[in-house]
Chains A and B, each alone.
Chain A
Amino acid sequence: MNAIIFSAIFGVVMMFSGVFFSSKQLIRNLAIGLMAALLVLNAAELQGYGLFDINLNNMLHFTSFGLVFNCIAFAATFIYLLLSARDIEQVGVNLAEYFALIFFILCGVGIATSFNSLLMLFLAIEIISIPLYILTGSDKRNLKSNEASLKYFLMGAFSTGIMLMGIALIYGATGTFSLDAIATATKGFETLLTGGLLLLLIAMSFKVSAAPFHFWTPDVYDGAPTVFTSFMATIVKAAIFAAFIKLFEKAYLPSVASWKAALTFIIVATLFIGNITAVFQQSVKRMLAYSSIAQAGFMLFALFGYSDFGKEGILLYAAAYSAATIGIFAILLKMSDYTFDGYNGLAKREPVLAFVNTIFLLSLAGIPLTAGFFAKYYMLVAAVKSGASLWLVIFAVLCAAVSVYYYFRVIQAMYFKTATTEDVTTAPVTINFKVILIVLAAIIVLLGLFPHWLFTKVYF
């Protein structure tokens, strides 16, 4: 509850900070400070110090899983703000509002990790989506940004409609929005329930950009201002996965056998399309958009093999993927040229950036000693444990091998190719920036050595 209430209040505070303060530095520091406070408040609730005791009529249900997930999302946002707050300034004049919108999205994240009723799920998804439409189009003078925003809005509205229809059908079948009741619902109206769940599955797949509902992703991620792409592709996506896994646990698990075929299809299509298309990209930003689709394919394994492994895995995956992607985007923001060639010879000029970028990329590729390896490992274990066909697992690892191709192209460019033009980085790289990146890389390596450190809290 702390997370939801305070993120909303902080959002309002940020809104007004733009009215009262004119110093950008002040606004930025305020946002970072509030973010840290939010993280602390959420951690306090995890330790049992919830500040509110409100009768929620079982609409929200706070579990340690959800709270740990919030911690990951907030910590990732905190690091994201530390790294990229300056770049947010570059986007437009409404600096305070951008931060406010980010806080509102986090409010949605808080609901998404704790909902216990389909109504709350709907609210969470909408609270997350609407600020994102604005952030996507925040670069008002840029046509691509406008296009992305409009596309995102239209497609998002469409999927919202599908989701509502699904919820309505489920309500029609069971007479309730409550997840607990749906899980034990009488099977009187099987067709309605199945239809509703199917629509819900489609809508959620859309939100996590799983194939074949992924078409918006590359354009939106490419068109949006890069700082916001970073936020969208990581924290938001992970949060929707947290909601998805909770929904799946309650609503789909009773009839899981019949959903496996659909899920298998979605996983295979997502992995295949994401990875294969990423191979052909010339722009690193677009490559990352497709890679985020591919990574979503792996995260879907958590649903497929729903178990403790799957839950732990999705936590680890969210942390590993968010940390690595935020880092890569932060470095991408410093480049003047977003193509692979833009990275040529980076290791010579900025050895620290090149080194941490390598760690981030290795983590995304799933090489041992990075968090990404165990993230993928847990997903595969979850799948095998739930009795997935080994072919599916082999297909997934082959896709992981494909992903090495495009991630390593960046590494090759940085280390083994010489720059064609002088001065590839445009934005000044401060010592602070480097230190934070090194901390981020250290976190990834530590999680790659001791992943269970992340889960210990879940079981208390």
Chain B
Amino acid sequence: MNWIFLQVKNPITDVSSAGSYLPIAIQLIFAVLFIAAMMGLTHWLGPKRNTADKLENFASGIESHGDARQPMAIKYFLVAILFVLFDVEVIFFYPYAVNFRQLGWEGFFAVLMFVGFFLAGFFYIIKKGALNWED
């Protein structure tokens, strides 16, 4: 009967062996079974009276109208993704800012190159008209 109370008859001295995980496994299984049983029971026992009002999406009591999936200008996405892109690249300045004395001129030129690429990208999107709001 020991195993029911998660008691080990002969305590395992070697803690890294698989046997020592047995209580945890049993506990996990028990937890899953318990949750499954509870959810099953509520579905099975609970009363169900569906009406049109009940099935409606909850919108803080306000009657919903229209479709949430409205078409949006692709420009929003473009600007948003470009923002993310450049924002992420800015992160690289932090480590440089912390270490710029130690890195010396070599580090400076490396960062200069990075900024160069960075600006090239920026120049490219402007030239391509990615940020033009009006057509």
Contacts and interface: CB of A to CB of B under 8 A. Distances in A.
Q: Do chains A and B touch in the complex (CB under 8 A)?
A: yes
Interface residues of A, number: 4
A138 to B, nearest CB: 16
Contacts of A15: 124
Contacts of A16: 120, 124, 127
Interface in A11-31: 12, 15-16, 19
Contacts of B128: 19
A12 B123 CA distance: 12
Interface string A190-211: 0000000000000000000000
Contacts of A12: 117, 120
Contacts of B117: 12
Contacts of B124: 15-16, 19
B120 A19 contact: no
Counting contact residues on chain B (CB < 8 A from A), the size range is under 10
The majority secondary structure among interface residues of chain A is helix
Interface in B96-135: 117, 120, 124, 127-128
B4 to A, nearest CB: 33
A331 to B, nearest CB: 35
A16 B124 CA distance: 7
A209 to B, nearest CB: 30
A277 to B, nearest CB: 39
A437 to B, nearest CB: 36
Contacts of A19: 124, 127-128
A6 to B, nearest CB: 15
A25 B129 CA distance: 23
Interface string B13-32: 00000000000000000000
A54 to B, nearest CB: 11
A381 B111 CA distance: 51
A415 B8 CA distance: 82
A119 B124 CA distance: 29
Nearest to B120: A12
Nearest to B124: A15
Nearest to A15: B124
B74 to A, nearest CB: 12
Nearest to A12: B120
A323 to B, nearest CB: 34
A15 B117 CA distance: 12
Nearest to B128: A19
Nearest to A18: B128
Interface in A254-307: none
A220 B120 CA distance: 32
B114 to A, nearest CB: 13
A12 B117 CA distance: 9
Given A12-B117, A19-B124, 7 more contacts: A12-B120, A15-B124, A16-B120, A16-B124, A16-B127, A19-B127, A19-B128
8 contacts: A12-B117, A12-B120, A15-B124, A16-B120, A16-B124, A16-B127, A19-B127, A19-B128
Considering the complex of A and B, which 4 residue pairs feature the smallest CB-CB distances, nearest first?
A19-B127, A15-B124, A12-B120, A16-B124
